[in-house]
């Protein structure tokens, strides 16, 4: 599983609040991705900067001492997902170590893995919101308000941060970045919820009450637009980097599913210098092979001629995976409003070996957060036959 801005910032926020308020148990935010992948997210640097941080300050999978870190030495609190994935799942959540998973704060469907909460130290929060950071802020409002000010300011600043960093302003920017991005500056009717609106208002109140000139400098729209420009600029990325920039994986029902969310459409991905239909398909297939996937899905979201558009490419490899992909398409065609993309330019495959289809998705309210469960449901159903 690769993390997006929401996951990364939510982990930092939750770890900070839980570490700096009673009972002051040290929480270490882990970015669940290789360190090299942080370079694919320039928008992260823009959100960390007001907090006096850089991506180099984050702990990643690359930095963990895997050979010396035993499962019984750890406890895990998940944000923006509720079932351990990838290397974390393999090494730390075997049958004998499921008790190491304390809780979660998540805006996805409950997968039934996180244990029922038995204390305030083990939150189990599920709610539909545009951003998981909104739920973190809701859960930690009292903790944020309880943080000491002024006389302990120096102690509460992030390590190595400039002395003029105001912690309320820093935390507010860490929260506002992912929330504004995930709700399109609170304008998306499909994504924006009361959780998001309340969190933005609360975070902005911290900026407006800060003792420095942060309130005068802050503009919600300007902050959102600056992050968006960085997030949507993939012109310098290779196809492989585009596919791994916002990548998530699931292993269900004996199948491996990988999904890549892309901030430009297939028209952009198949035209221009060093881009073509054949090159895109070759790279998607190579990525699926590199990751050992049975099914790969590429989900795009962008503006085309001023209209917000979603597109979807699904590619299955092997007879059983093909059945899953076809079942997904037939079952969800109307729910997603699937229409053939272009003239079927990206459709194809060899009989019995692989099958792919690409659609324009008319029901734009459904993002990967909805599409991935649909695919996983088809995977589970197929495994029962």
Residue matched to tokens 């959100």: 47
> Based on the domain organization, do 216 and 131 belong to the same domain?
yes
Phi, psi of 293 (to 5 degrees): -95, 145
Q: In which domain, by residue range, is 368 found?
A: 239-383
> Based on the domain organization, do 34 and 126 belong to the same domain?
yes
In angstroms, the CA 295 to CA 257 distance is 5
Structure tokens at 56: 């180099």
Q: Rounded to 5 degrees, what angle do the CA atoms 363, 369, 372 make?
A: 95
210 touches 150 (CB < 8 A): no
Element (H, E) at 316: strand 307-317
Number of domains comprising the chain: 2
- From first to last of its 385 residues, what are the pLDDT tens digits of the chain? 446 899 999 999 999 999 998 889 999 999 988 999 999 999 999 999 998 999 999 999 999 988 888 888 888 999 999 988 777 877 776 545 456 888 999 999 999 888 887 677 789 999 999 999 999 999 999 999 988 554 344 444 444 444 567 899 999 999 999 999 999 999 999 899 999 999 999 999 999 987 667 777 899 999 999 999 999 999 999 999 999 999 999 998 999 999 999 999 999 999 988 899 999 999 999 999 999 999 999 999 998 888 899 999 999 999 999 999 999 999 999 999 999 999 999 999 998 899 999 999 999 999 998 999 999 999 999 877 6
> Based on the domain organization, do 84 and 65 belong to the same domain?
yes
Task: Kindly report the CATH number assigned to the domain that includes residue 299.
Answer: 3.10.310.20
Residue matched to tokens 């197929």: 382
Task: Kindly report the CATH number assigned to the domain that includes residue 66.
Answer: 3.90.1640.10
> pTM score, two decimals?
0.83
> Based on the domain organization, do 116 and 162 belong to the same domain?
yes
> Based on the domain organization, do 174 and 291 belong to the same domain?
no
Which domain-ending residue is among 171, 204, 231? 231
């Amino acid at each position: 599983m690769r993390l997006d801005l929401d996951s990364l910032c939510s982990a930092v926020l939750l770890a900070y609040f839980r570490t700096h308020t009673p009972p002051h148990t040290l929480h270490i935010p882990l970015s669940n991705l290789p360190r090299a992948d942080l370079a694919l997210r320039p928008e992260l640097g823009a959100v960390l900067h007001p907090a006096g941080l850089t991506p180099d300050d984050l702990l990643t999978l690359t930095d963990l001492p895997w050979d010396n870190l035993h499962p019984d030495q750890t406890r895990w609190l998940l944000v923006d997902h509720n079932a351990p994935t990838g290397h974390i799942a393999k090494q730390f959540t075997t049958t004998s170590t499921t008790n190491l998973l304390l809780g979660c704060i998540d805006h996805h469907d409950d997968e039934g893995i996180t244990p029922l909460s038995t204390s305030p130290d083990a939150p189990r929060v599920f709610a539909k919101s545009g951003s998981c950071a909104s739920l973190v802020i809701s859960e930690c409002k009292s903790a944020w308000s309880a943080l000491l000010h002024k006389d302990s300011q120096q102690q509460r600043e992030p390590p190595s941060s400039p002395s003029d960093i105001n912690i309320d302003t820093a935390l507010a920017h860490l929260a506002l970045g992912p929330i504004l991005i995930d709700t399109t500056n609170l304008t998306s009717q499909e994504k924006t919820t009361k959780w998001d609106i309340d969190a933005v208002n609360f975070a902005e109140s911290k900026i407006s009450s800060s003792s420095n000139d942060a309130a005068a400098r802050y503009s919600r729209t300007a902050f959102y637009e600056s992050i968006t420009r960085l997030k949507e600029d993939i012109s310098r990325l290779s196809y492989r980097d585009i596919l791994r920039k916002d990548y998530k994986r699931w292993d269900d029902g004996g199948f491996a599913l990988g999904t890549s969310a892309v901030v430009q459409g297939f028209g952009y991905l198949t035209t221009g210098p060093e881009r073509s239909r054949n090159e895109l398909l070759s790279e998607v297939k190579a990525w699926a092979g590199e990751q050992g996937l049975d099914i790969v899905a590429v989900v795009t979201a962008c503006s085309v001629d001023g209209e917000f558009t979603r597109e979807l490419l699904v590619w299955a490899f092997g007879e059983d995976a093909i059945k899953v992909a076809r079942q997904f398409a037939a079952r969800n065609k109307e729910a997603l409003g699937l229409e053939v993309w272009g003239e079927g330019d990206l459709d194809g495959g060899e009989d019995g070996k692989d099958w792919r289809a690409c659609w324009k998705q008319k029901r734009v309210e459904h993002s990967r957060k909805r599409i991935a469960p649909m695919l996983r449901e088809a995977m589970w159903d197929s495994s029962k036959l």
